[in-house]
Amino acid sequence: MRIHPLLAQRILYLVLVGGMTLQIHGLDDRDVLETTGPIDVRRQYQEYTETFPESMNLNVTLPRVRSGEFVNIDSITTGKTVILSFLSLTCYQCMKDLPKWADLDRDLARPSAAELVFVAAGPSRRYAAAMLQRHTRFAFPVLYDSTGVLADTNQIPEIPSTVLLDSHRRIQLAGSPVLRAEVYEMYRDMIADHTGGATGVFGTGTQ
């Protein structure tokens, strides 16, 4: 896993200045940062978001994990708010969390307006398909990125990670919405703000 220098500086700042105790498990967006200091969860994740670029370029074409069909991420998310999750198939905790993503997709699957997209990295597309099938089946797009081109193009500081993008591809929030209720609520509220009050998440197409 890659740790961006700005993120390392942020950790040091929080420890030395913020009066915080951090429980770190390879600091990525899945990590629950347990605090005993004055900084609340929302501010924590706002600070974390600052280590990511301001916006992303989604004009990248990748194959679907199961079918191998190539799709352009920009074309399937045009004009939409996007939850984009970079998944490492060699990460045990990531795989353990997969059913929670299925729950999130199901629980928020109402007529509204955020596109949930997974970008998986692993030894091969067949391996990715087998691993995902072992855990759960998703209704939203799951794409395979063998070389990490999407993350590298956009200077994503670490894998795995999850970001919320507005319709202009600006990153609004970084962090996983499936591990903490507070972060889930932040995603829900921001999606509502950017979609005129709609709060559901839906997928467009198969894996």
Predicted confidence band of residue 37 (pLDDT cuts 50, 70, 90): very low
Give the Cβ contact number of residue 109 at 10 Å.
15
Q: Would you state the pLDDT for residue 97? A: 86
d(CA 88, CA 35): 26
pLDDT: is 49 or 207 the higher one?
49
- Bridging pattern class, strands 81-88 and 114-121: parallel
Mean of pLDDT values over 89-105: 82
pLDDT digits (tens, 9 = 90+) for 41-56: 888 898 999 999 999 9
d(CA 81, CA 29): 19
d(CA 29, CA 31): 6
Highest mean pLDDT among 105-109, 147-151, 200-204: 147-151
Q: Would you state the pLDDT for residue 14? A: 39
d(CA 20, CA 34): 8
pLDDT: is 174 or 29 the higher one?
174
- Bridging pattern class, strands 114-121 and 201-202: parallel
Domain ranges of the chain: 5-49, 61-202
d(CA 169, CA 187): 15
Q: Would you state the pLDDT for residue 39? A: 56
pLDDT: is 110 or 59 the higher one?
59
Tokens coding 151: 């993350």
pLDDT: is 163 or 36 the higher one?
163
Q: Is the pLDDT of residue 168 over 50?
A: yes
Q: Would you state the pLDDT for residue 111? A: 38
Give the Cβ contact number of residue 40 at 10 Å.
11
Q: Residue 197 — left, alpha, or beta (φ > 0 → left; ψ -120 to 50 → alpha)?
A: left
pLDDT digits (tens, 9 = 90+) for 112-151: 567 889 999 888 999 888 888 877 677 788 999 999 999 9
Q: DSSP letters along 39-85, please?
A: --HHHHHHHHHTTS-SB-----EEEBTTT--EEEHHHHHTTSEEEEE
Q: Would you state the pLDDT for residue 95? A: 83
Mean of pLDDT values over 3-26: 39
Q: Is the pLDDT of residue 2 over 70?
A: no
pLDDT: is 101 or 205 the higher one?
101
d(CA 133, CA 30): 21
d(CA 137, CA 174): 24
pLDDT: is 122 or 168 the higher one?
168
Reported pTM:
0.77
> What superfamily in CATH does domain 61-202 come from?
Glutaredoxin (3.40.30.10)
